[in-house]
Amino acid sequence: MHNEHSDAHFQLRIDNGEHIEPKDYMPEGYRKHLIRQISQHAHSEVIGMQPEGNWITRAPSLRSKQILLAKIQDEGGHGLYLYSAAETLGVSRSELIEQLQSGKAKYSSIFNYPALNWADIGAIGWLVDGAAIVNQVSLQRTSYGPYSRGMVRICKEESFHQRQGYEIMAKMMKGTKEQQDMAQDAMNRWWWPALMMFGPHDTDSPHSSDAVKWKIKRETNDELRQKFIDKTIPQAELIGLKVPDNNIQLDEKTGHYTISEINWDEFYRVISGHGPCNKQRLDHHIKYHEEGAWVREAAEAYKQKHLKKELETA
Amino acid sequence: MTTKEATYTYALRLGDDALILGHRLSELCSRGPILEEDLALTNISLDMIGRAQALLKYAADTENNGNTEDDIAYRRAENHYYNHLLVEQPNGDFAHTIARQLLISVFEYLFYTELEKSRDENLSAIAKKVTKEVKYHMQHAIDWTIRLGDGTNESHKRMQTAINDMWMYSGELFEMDEVDQYLFREGVAVDLIPLKAHWQNRIQTVLTKATLVTPEDGYMQTGSKKGVHSENLGHILSEMQYLQRSYPDAKW
Amino acid sequence: MATDTQLDLWEVFIQSKSGLPYIHAGSIHASDVKMAMQNARDIYTRRGEGTSIWVVPSKHISASNPDDNDMLFDPSNDKVYRHPTFYVMPEGAKNI
């Protein structure tokens, strides 16, 4: 008979394809890995609001402004769902935010790149969300129940994100010469960082093996990246965008594209804090968190004053 | 003045209020005091931009010279915008955002409830949809006004300051010019004069509950019905119109 | 600064259509009932998912302990007589 609080029993449950729920036994490493991964994911959604937010007030039509706002709002919502999933593991959102702001917790490096022209909004939706979706679809089957449920909801909502981005790119490629140049410029700047979003090669990925064993991660970085490459290159070609890589080849046998080596120096440089916008993104988050402090304190104070009344009338 | 001309101007004014306030609120995206409130403000902004789209489309259809709602939203000169001065005021701190929301949404709730009865079917249909939305905006603003007014000393002070700062832009909401009067006689427009007392009552009730003082009516700023704005509008437009103006041949 | 800057945790239940059960949608943070209700609305019904909302402070929800699962749930496994398929009906019986 298995001890229900043993790692062996836990692994058995995982191997049987069971979901783990908040009160179930889990090894400390599993909990820690989840908190790190889920909170990193949540922070990415929230920080990811900034580059796109940079264009809200300059969106060129009422339709595009509504789409962009709704999309950024979704991202905030997704951050919120993910923070909630992390909270079931016994960590508060307050602590998670503190970890983000102190630099202890990371977020996806992609958001340390700037959104410089309107086509960047297209490229972010198409490439960045496109890459994220490949990862997120896979995570719907993750072993931790609250994370899995959050991902199901997120995937359902995200389905329009990539399409709206691709629509912008397609429209601009059909537009004036200037619009086509903007689209290609955005493609050139976002292609490689989007590929980096899947993380280092499996052989260089420090957390991958445990995460796969515990079925937190269901597919490896390289597998997911390849999926993204294979579906994205034909999409680029269809609308006349050039992928900024002269070594792309379709391997007829495997059906997979091969590409040049990713610039991992850049990847590690940006992760370690030296991307174009690392400081700006964190400063923004801290600034508005601090500016909101008096509002949250007021809400708290109001509650304290009226708590008794509320309970009586509830 | 024909009914058509007056209706065009009327739809434009209402549309511009929604357009500019929607724009102001959209500036707050990723800047809310807590994530939930960020999403709440975005929802209000989305309601506003949707409303602007409907009203400016109606203006475009009325004008009927081939312009779309986007042409109207993005291609006019500053002095051809007719939104109230109140809605172009900066977001300021959260108290200012809420004060502006309180004053305008209580007004809009009363206004659109009346506009539902308009003999203009398009305006009446739009009003029916807007009333539901704005009822929620009003509730949201009222709740926050009370929380901030009756929260901490600091929030109380900030909320009072914000109400005081916004107050001089509230008088304009009830001005009737020749367009209003003409369309009121036609059964199309809302008579703003009787709304004022209702508005004052409601605002005073909220402010009292929030332990705040209702400001005395002093000098009231005016001008928007003639296209004369505060300096704020030009900056809003220079951002909003940037792509449309820089690439006039492009379709977005 | 206060120790927790994120207000209280609430659980949100949404009924998608009248007549259907309320289903747990997720959590939100809020300081009072009104805010909780508005936040739940703004976050969990953006796509017409709901016609009715329940919010409850998370601290007021008690969850069963997985360690008690054998005691709580196993005893019902052998009560097969609670299921209609347990009963043998004469051949040809209809509408039962």
Portion 29-68 of B in contact with A at CB < 8 A: 29-39, 42-43, 45-46, 49-50, 52-53, 56
Checking if the pLDDT of C79 tops 70, the result is yes
Q: What pLDDT shows up at residue A2?
A: 54
At A5, which amino acid appears? H
Q: Which of B147, B154, B250 sits opposite A179 (nearest CB)?
A: B250
User: Which residues does B141 contact at the CB level (< 8 Å), separation at least 6?
Assistant: B98, B101, B102, B105, B106
The verdict on residue C93 lying in a domain is: no
Phi, psi dihedrals of residue C29, rounded to the nearest 5°: -110, 140
Confidence band for C2, pLDDT divided at 50, 70 and 90: very low
Residues of A in contact with C46 (CB under 8 A): 70, 73-74, 77
The verdict on residue C95 lying in a domain is: no
pLDDT in tens, A85-136: 999 999 999 999 999 999 999 999 999 999 999 999 999 999 999 999 999 9
The verdict on residue C92 lying in a domain is: no
Q: What pLDDT shows up at residue A151?
A: 95
User: Which residues does A36 contact at the CB level (< 8 Å), separation at least 6?
Assistant: A105, A207
Cβ–Cβ below 8 Å for A84 and C35: no
Checking if the pLDDT of A311 tops 70, the result is no
**Is the CB of B5 inside 8 Å of chain C's CB atoms?**
no
For domain B3-246, which CATH number applies: 3.80.10.10, 1.20.1250.20, 1.10.10.10, 1.20.1260.10? 1.20.1260.10
Q: What pLDDT shows up at residue A113?
A: 98
pLDDT in tens, A266-306: 999 999 999 999 999 999 999 999 999 999 999 999 999 98
Cβ–Cβ below 8 Å for C66 and A24: yes
pLDDT average, residue stretch B121-127:
98
Q: What pLDDT shows up at residue A159?
A: 83
Query: Rounded to an integer, what distance in angstroms lies between the CA atom of residue A170 and that of residue A119?
Result: 10
Domain locations along chain B: 3-246
Q: For residue C12, list its beta bridge partners.
A: C26, C55
Residues of A in contact with C64 (CB under 8 A): 23
Checking if the pLDDT of A211 tops 90, the result is no
Residues of A in contact with B30 (CB under 8 A): 46, 49-50, 53, 72, 76, 284, 288
pLDDT in tens, A134-172: 999 989 999 999 999 999 999 999 889 999 999 999 999
Residues of B in contact with A83 (CB under 8 A): 35
Confidence band for C3, pLDDT divided at 50, 70 and 90: low
Cβ–Cβ below 8 Å for A295 and B34: yes
Which of A4-38 are b and which e, b meaning 16 or more Cβ less than 10 Å from the residue's Cβ?
eeeeeebeebbeeeebbebebbbeeebbebbbbbb
The verdict on residue C96 lying in a domain is: no
pTM higher than 0.90, yes or no?
Answer: yes
Checking if the pLDDT of B249 tops 50, the result is yes
pLDDT average, residue stretch A7-33:
95
Q: Which chains touch C (3 or more CB pairs under 8 A)?
A: A, B
Q: What pLDDT shows up at residue C1?
A: 42
- Quickly list DSSP for A212-280: HHTTSSSS-HHHHHHHHHHHHHHHHHHTTPPPS-TT-EE-TTT--EE-PPP-HHHHHHIIIIISTTHHH
Q: What pLDDT shows up at residue A3?
A: 75
Checking if the pLDDT of B168 tops 70, the result is yes
Residues of C in contact with B43 (CB under 8 A): 42, 46
Look up the CATH number of the domain holding residue C23.
3.10.20.520
How does DSSP classify residue A203?
G
Residue of C nearest to A20 (CA): C66
Portion 160-199 of A in contact with B at CB < 8 A: 171, 175-176, 178-179
Query: Rounded to an integer, what distance in angstroms lies between the CA atom of residue A86 and that of residue A150?
Result: 10
The verdict on residue C17 lying in a domain is: yes
Q: What pLDDT shows up at residue A298?
A: 98
Cβ–Cβ below 8 Å for A296 and C32: no
Q: Which chains touch B (3 or more CB pairs under 8 A)?
A: A, C
Contact B45, B105 (CB under 8 A): no
For residues A208 and B217, which has the higher predicted lDDT (pLDDT)?
Answer: B217
Cβ–Cβ below 8 Å for B46 and A73: yes
Checking if the pLDDT of B101 tops 60, the result is yes
Checking if the pLDDT of B40 tops 60, the result is yes
Return the residue matching tokens 């790692």. Answer: A7
B201 burial level (CB within 10 Å; 0-12, 13-18, 19+): exposed
3-class DSSP state of C30? strand
Q: How close A261 gets to chain C, by Cα (Å)?
A: 41
Return the residue matching tokens 């489309």. Answer: B57
Checking if the pLDDT of A202 tops 60, the result is yes
Number of domains present in the structure of chain C: 1
Q: Residue C49's domain spans which residues?
A: 8-82
